[in-house]
Amino acid sequence: MALIRIGFFSTVLGMCTSCDVILPQQTDADAPAREFPVMYLLHNLTKSHSTWQRMTCIERYALNHGVAVVMPDAQLSSYADMVHGGKFFTYIADELPGLMRSFFPLSSRREDTFICGASMGGYGALKIGLSRPEQYGAIGSLSSGYTSYRGYISRPDDRGITLQSLTFGETGLDEEDVETAEKARAIVRSGKNIPRIFITCGSSDPILLDNAREARDFFSSFEGNPFDFQYTEHPGSHNWSFWDAHICDFLRYAGLNPREHYC
């Protein structure tokens, strides 16, 4: 595997940004060129594009499952087009995949493309995946649902400003949650490009267990399970130990069969 740390200019953000990419390595120089399946892996609140690399064994897991992993930086955006900040939703949903395919041999096939994240990243994965169902074959959320956790982002800082107001404005978060749910309903009504959805959460998670269970009830309510929805709870809390232990659950759910069963 190759670990590539890349800096590039984003037209959508209007600035340079960074991304970590794990890329399968062809050892035979004479082998036919191939395009690799890819997982877009999103970080949690207060962290960055490098956190999955530093806090988990994701490179080893990617090698075992034969998948490229793209880890973008979304700052404190909640993967939204911020009212006062960058357009991180549009950047990751629309600009980033094309840029990554222009840089690296990544498949553009929907069935080879997945999006997943932890905490804020899981919320972002569901929001982006349900907004662009034609792009993703499977969506994974570790310790989150499709609604945002307000406890942290609604706290005012020493200037009296909340991250919620900077990101969503005064009422935008409620509207965004409703819109995401409606997008899921619209996908089912259309019967086209219905992504598979996987959610897992720690049974002792003090932060987002209620959000995850709300998503469980919502996606389970669709007759016939059109999203092939899978929800699990395991012993654990809201931390990197849990996410490291269960990211491979999503990789297997997405159909990426491991070479060895060590995670």
pLDDT in tens, 4-19: 999 999 999 999 999 9
Residue 110: exposure state from Cβ atoms within 10 A (0-12, 13-18, ≥19): middle
Per DSSP, the three-state class of 206 is coil
Q: Is the pLDDT of residue 261 over 80?
A: no
Give yes or no for a contact between 80 and 176, defined as CB atoms under 8 angstroms apart.
Answer: yes
Instruction: Give the mean pLDDT of 197-208.
Output: 97
pLDDT of residue 185: 98
The β-bridge relationship of strands 113-118 and 196-202 is unpaired
Specify whether the CB–CB gap between 48 and 39 falls below 8 A: no
pTM for the model: 0.95
pLDDT of residue 170: 79
Distances (CA, A) of 95 to 20, 128, 137: 16, 12, 18
**Looking at residue 198, what is its pLDDT?**
98
Contact yes or no for 88/75 (Cβ under 8 A): yes
Report pLDDT for 257: 86
Rounded Cα–Cα distance for residues 227 and 137 (Å)? 10
Mean pLDDT score, 230-258: 97
Please check whether residue 217 is in contact with residue 250, taking contact to mean a CB–CB distance below 8 angstroms: no
Q: Cβ atoms within 10 A of the Cβ of 162, count?
A: 17
Decide if 125 contacts 42 (C-beta within 8 A): yes
Angle, vertex CA 240, rays to CA 201 and CA 254, nearest 5: 55
E strand spans, the chain:
2-10, 15-23, 38-42, 68-72, 113-118, 138-142, 196-202, 230-234
Q: What pLDDT was estimated at residue 118?
A: 98
**What pLDDT is stored for residue 167 in this prediction?**
94
Give percent above pLDDT 90 in the chain. Answer: 87
Query: If you search the block for the tokens 């956190």, which residue do you land on?
Result: 51
pLDDT of residue 107: 97
Largest CA distance in the chain: 61
Give pLDDT, residue 226: 98
**C-alpha triplet 111, 113, 119: angle, nearest 5°:** 130
Torsional sign, CA 211, 212, 214, 218: positive
- Helix (H/G/I), strand (E/B), else coil: 47: coil
The answer on pLDDT for 263 being more than 80 is: no
Give the per-residue pLDDT at 262: 62
Sheet strand arrangement including 68-72: 2-10, 15-23, 68-72, 38-42, 113-118, 138-142, 196-202, 230-234
pLDDT of 29 > 80? The answer is no
Average pLDDT (216-222) is 98
